[in-house]
A and B are shown apart, each in its own frame.
Chain A
Amino acid sequence: MPSPTTLLYLLIGASILLIAFLIARPSLTASRGGKQLAFVVLFLLPVVVASMGAAEHMRRSEQTEFCLSCHIMASYGQSLHIDDATYIPAAHFQNARIPRDQACYTCHTDYVMYGTIGDKMRGLHHVYVQYLGKAAVPIRLYTPFNNRECLHCHAGARSFEEGAVHNADPSIMAAIKANQLSCMSSGCHENIHDVAHLSQLKFWQEPK
């Protein structure tokens, strides 16, 4: 079965050939069949190609490679290789608790184009800043990290639900699930990307 990208290329190639044929012989559209052909190649096919292309680009934008293609994100990519299991993103990445090729998107599901219209505008602003502006250093999330991103995997997991610290007080679990007690900034799992101290850390070498 050909990949979606191969199918898309084939469809684009076939569309271009048909349109070129129509451009060379516009008199074809005088007949009923010619009119139908024109409607298919000048309207339906472009709509199908654009829809398939948009779906493919959305899929590609979930890739770690996509996020790390901006220079400012390089250190965040490097932080996924910190050789210390207390660093949450690194431990998740290295132990394949998240798909490595979608590492950023898995924990930042509502970021830029995957969020609201306002988030999408932020995504465009990021591209502007990357090429024409100056990024704020250090970069920060627009809103505090939401426990929802952790809970979409950990909720229901035995290690989380029956964890001693999570159940030390009956109110803790409810506060975590209601995003009132942050998994990260409450002092429990506070080691995250820590890009400011990368030079002092050891790194895991990912096998080729």
Chain B
Amino acid sequence: MNAPEQSMARRLRISGVLIILGLLVEALSLVRIHPLAFLGFMFIGGGLLAAGMIVYLFALVSVVPPS
């Protein structure tokens, strides 16, 4: 695996981990009917998901095309 591919794989892993954490928070937030569950869903879960998606999109646009 060359350097750009390694970089891409690393970003995909970071993105995947962030999204998995976000999904776990969202799953946990559904356990209780409570305002804090709603806020946890929105800010912690939503924040982790958004961060993961941004890292993934950044990985896509930062790929150097082969010359």
Q: List the interface of chain A (C-beta within 8 A of B).
A: 5, 8-9, 12, 15-16, 19-20, 22-23, 26-27, 29-30, 38, 42-43, 46-47, 49-50, 53-54, 56-57, 60-61, 63, 65-66, 69-70, 123-124, 126-127, 130
Contacts and interface: CB of A to CB of B under 8 A. Distances in A.
B20 to A, nearest CB: 5
Given A16-B24, A22-B16, A56 B8 contact: no
Given A12-B23, A19-B19, A70-B35, A46 B49 contact: yes
Interface of B: 1, 5, 8-9, 12-13, 15-17, 19-20, 22-24, 26-27, 29-30, 33-39, 41-42, 45-46, 49, 52-53, 56-57
A66 B15 contact: no
A77 to B, nearest CB: 14
A42 B52 contact: yes
B34 to A, nearest CB: 5
Contacts of A65: 33
Contact of B16 (A12, A20, A57): A20
Contacts, number: 98
A20 B53 contact: no
18 contacts: A8-B27, A15-B19, A16-B24, A19-B20, A22-B12, A27-B9, A29-B9, A30-B5, A38-B56, A42-B15, A46-B22, A46-B52, A50-B26, A53-B41, A57-B30, A57-B42, A60-B38, A69-B34
Residues of B contacting A: mostly: helix
A26 B16 CA distance: 10
Contacts of A53: 26, 29-30, 41, 45
A8 B42 CA distance: 15
Nearest to A69: B34
A5 B12 contact: no
Contacts of B9: 26-27, 29
B12 A42 contact: yes
A20 B30 contact: no
Nearest to B14: A23
Contacts of A130: 35
A143 to B, nearest CB: 21
A126 B35 CA distance: 10
Contact of B35 (A5, A50, A69): A69
Contact of A29 (B8, B26, B27, B29): B8
